[in-house]
Structure formats: C-alpha cells, structure tokens
Structure 1
C-alpha cells in the first residue's frame, strides 16, 4: 500500500486527481488538506469534501490550510478556467459529505498524520505549495516520515498564467522555492510541459462518461474547463494536469523522470514564478564552477497512451 496525503485546491483537474486516489486499491488515503488557488479556500475545501463524498470516503480527514501566499498577495484566481465554484459551476451535482472538516488546520493535520504513520508517506501537492512550505518549516522532524513529495507544477518551456510561469508555482513562488530548492526531501515535479502532452480528447471523455455514475459526474464537472482547453488545444478535449501527477504517485513508472537542479524566480518582473531547470549536464555545470545545487526528479516524458489508458481504467471503475 502507498500511504498518501493530498494537498489540493479543487479545481476540476484536482477533482480528477482525488478521484484517482480514491479509485486506486493500492492507496491508503490518510488525509486531504486544502489551500487557496483555483478559487478561495472556503470553496476549495467544500469541493474536496464533496469529491470525497462521491467516493464514499467519510473516513478521510480534511483540514483547511493557507488562504493566501507566504509573502505577497495572490494576484487572481482561475475562475475563468474552472468556473466561479472551481468545478464549472456544477459542484452542487456532487453529494454533501456528512463528515465536515477536522478540528485542526492543514499543517497540524499533516504533521500528526506523518508522526503517526508506520511507514513513510507520499505527499501529493496539486495546488500552490504554501501548506507544504509551512509544514517543512514548522515541523522539520517530519521530513524523515516523508517517502517523497509528488508535485504538479511548473513549466520548463513556457507557462500558462504568464509567458514563463505555471499557475501553482506562480501563486506562491516563495513557498515553491522553499520546497523545490531549499529542502532535501525526495521530490518529483510533474510540470505543465508533460501534463499538456497527456491531454485527453472527446472520445476519452465520452468513454469515461459512459463508464458509470461517477465517471459521468466527473465529465459533467468539466464543462467550463473543457471549453477553455478546447480553445487552447484547438480541438475538443481537456488537460487533467493534477491527475497526471497523481498517476506518478499511485503508479510509479508510467512517467519518466530526469534529475535536474531547479531554481524558482521570486522577483517581481515578468519571469516571477518561473521554474528554471539547469539542463546543461553535470560536466558543463562543473566547468562553469556551479554545483547546480539539489536535484529534483522532473517528469519529462511518458508513455502517453499508457497514461491515458491507466486514467480511464481507474476513473471508470
């Protein structure tokens, strides 16, 4: 079993990622924490509870976390992509969960779950990294209880919220730098470059909708999101970024990692939130007098058809 904690800002693709974790028998879902991001914290928390309710997971504790970045105000949400409620304005289609939020905050819940865990835990942050940065800063002893952190975020070759930055990293670059550059916890970054290549088409979505009530509901949540990505892709389809990252967490091996030193731009110019990967190679870095710093496993390739087939099989079950 893979013990998981999900840190999330649902968000349509977050909903697919939570659904994937709930649909994977090898996953022991210990907890879900929420953060600001695609919409405000109250709505991301409500959405997380409702997606868990769809899968009958009353047992999974949920705690709300940061409602703002570590340092600077968050410029804007992503309502134009995810809808005003984060789920294409269709969150009311999901059932209410009888069990509400835990009587603690996100960082405290994660620390407690890690301290109690018998084996190291995988943390899957699929929103801004504020909660994770706070956890590692406030509870350094839990590092040894983390198997790895699997992050959806960043873009090596051009962003989506700016020309250089991907939304999750751009939302709190200071937190992202803490997690990706300053820490020593084993980390996998699944960037937008790869998740875009794993885009699903109308036929895939139709198959998921036909798979059963849960699959149909997931597809219904994509209406606003699908319109946005159909324009971006130039064809009917969508990109379920966070579910691709969750694939790495629950089924390692479908994505191909490359170890790279990273930097996160925290200035206030047009490159704020940019993830910079040093792809020169070890010899070139040594010749320049740079040790490159800590290396992160960046998912740079995948068997795209295998990823799509895996997602359809699990989400349609």
Structure 2
C-alpha cells in the first residue's frame, strides 16, 4: 500500500522536482501540499503549489497555505537569485485556475493526521514553522503521525546559509527545536545526503526529450537554478 504523505513546501525549483517525483512514485500517495516561506514568500509558494498540481493534472490534491513568518522573528526574505523571482526559474507562467483551501496549513495537517492515525508521513522540505504550529495546536498529532521526514539540517557537513546552518533550519530555528524535540519518529535528510544528488546537463537534456508536462516543466525551470550553483 502506498504511504500517505503531506509535503510541506516552499516551491522553489528543488521542491518542484521533489513534488513531481513524489507524484509519480507508486510507493507514495500525496494527499496534500502545505506551503511555507523560504525559497519564496508563502503567498507565492501557494500559487506555485496550485499551479504545479494543474501541470501534473492532479487538481484533486488540496493546497493549504501556511504562515508568512517564523515563530518568533520576521522572515529574512526569499532567494530569487537561486530560484528566480517566480520561484520557478524565471519562466513566469500564467496564474493558476485554482485556489488554495481556506483552511490553514496547520489545521489541515491536524485534520488529516487525526483522521488517519498512524498512516500519514509529514514531509517538510522547507522551514518547519507549519509543523511546529500544528504541534502547538494539537500535541496529539505526535502520537498519531507515522513519521516525519525532514529535508534540512547539516549534522556532519558545513551549512549552506551560514558556515554552521542549513537554510531550512536557519529560517526558523525555534520551530526546528520543537519539531526535533517532539515524541515522534524523525528522519533527517541533511546536506550530507542532498549534496550527493546531482542533476547533470545530461539529465537535463534527457528531460527535455520526454513528452510529459512534468518533465518539460523541470527542463524549463532547472537552468536558472543550475546556473546559480555553477557560479558559486
């Protein structure tokens, strides 16, 4: 049986690829996206998430908008030099037809987890603020979540937002402290793992030849992202 997951995301080129790969995996059942600040502001993250579901022809997957700032501080701002002003490699697609839910990200997480005890894996690939807020509002989700799989952190390698810190954790360290300290199973996929996953020019050329809206979208958005990392 496919594992039910909620992806908490700030898309973002890398998040877009992760979402598309998750949608195509027979091992995963994406039951919702929740959005957060990070690569882009939360409002744009929500717009992008809805648009991605339309590109993937998965309009039935709901998108719930999260908060715009960390728990105790102001958001330091997005990174358009990495992901583009639109968060999608500066390809500037038209607005999506759909809209996010009226329900907040934290409330959506709570509702889904408590309705499917032991079944849902939370997959935050941005700052952990929405997950921390859901914990604050309903601490019982910790005993009802199957697992939390975090893309973030840098236990054994240098950071990418500072010499010591990875960007998702640095964007809301107080939220990260709550999430890592909660009584649930956490798997951290840190920079020591993600730095080993490379997309070469050969990969990109291959995607451009695939007759699929998902592959074609990846081929369009990656060059801006790749160029940043080649420069740095």
2:162 alignment partner, SS class: coil
Aligned length: 229
Query: Is the aligned partner of 1:22 residue 2:45?
Result: no
TM-score, length-normalised on structure 1?
A: 0.69
Q: Write 1 or 2 for the structure with the bigger share of strand.
A: 1
Give 1:144 deviation, angstroms: 2.3
Counterpart CA distance in 2 for 1:71 and 1:118 is 30
Give 1:43 deviation, angstroms: 0.5
Gaps of 5+ in 2: none
Residue 126 of structure 1 corresponds to which residue in structure 2?
A: 125
2:183 alignment partner, SS class: coil
Residue 32 of structure 1 corresponds to which residue in structure 2?
A: 33
Q: Contact 1:34/1:44 (CA < 8 Å) preserved in 2?
A: yes
Deviation string for 1:268-289 (max 9, x for gaps)? xxxxxxxxxxxxxxxxxxxxxx
Q: Contact 2:13/2:88 (CA < 8 Å) preserved in 1?
A: yes
Q: Contact 1:45/1:64 (CA < 8 Å) preserved in 2?
A: yes
Counterpart CA distance in 2 for 1:160 and 1:142 is 31
Q: Contact 2:40/2:87 (CA < 8 Å) preserved in 1?
A: yes
TM-score, length-normalised on structure 2?
A: 0.94
Deviating runs (4+, > 4 A) in structure 1?
none
Deviation string for 1:82-123 (max 9, x for gaps)? 111111111407x82x43211210011111111222652111
1:212 alignment partner, SS class: coil
Residue 167 of structure 2 corresponds to which residue in structure 1?
A: 167
User: Structure 2 matches for 1:78-227, cutoff 5 A?
Assistant: 78-92=79-93, 96=96, 98-117=97-116, 119-156=118-155, 157-180=157-180, 182-213=181-212, 214-227=214-227
Counterpart CA distance in 1 for 2:229 and 2:69 is 26
Counterpart CA distance in 1 for 2:98 and 2:216 is 24
Gaps of 5+ in 1: 233-317
Give the root-mean-square deviation of aligned CA atoms.
Answer: 1.5
Counterpart CA distance in 2 for 1:222 and 1:54 is 16
Counterpart CA distance in 2 for 1:36 and 1:67 is 6
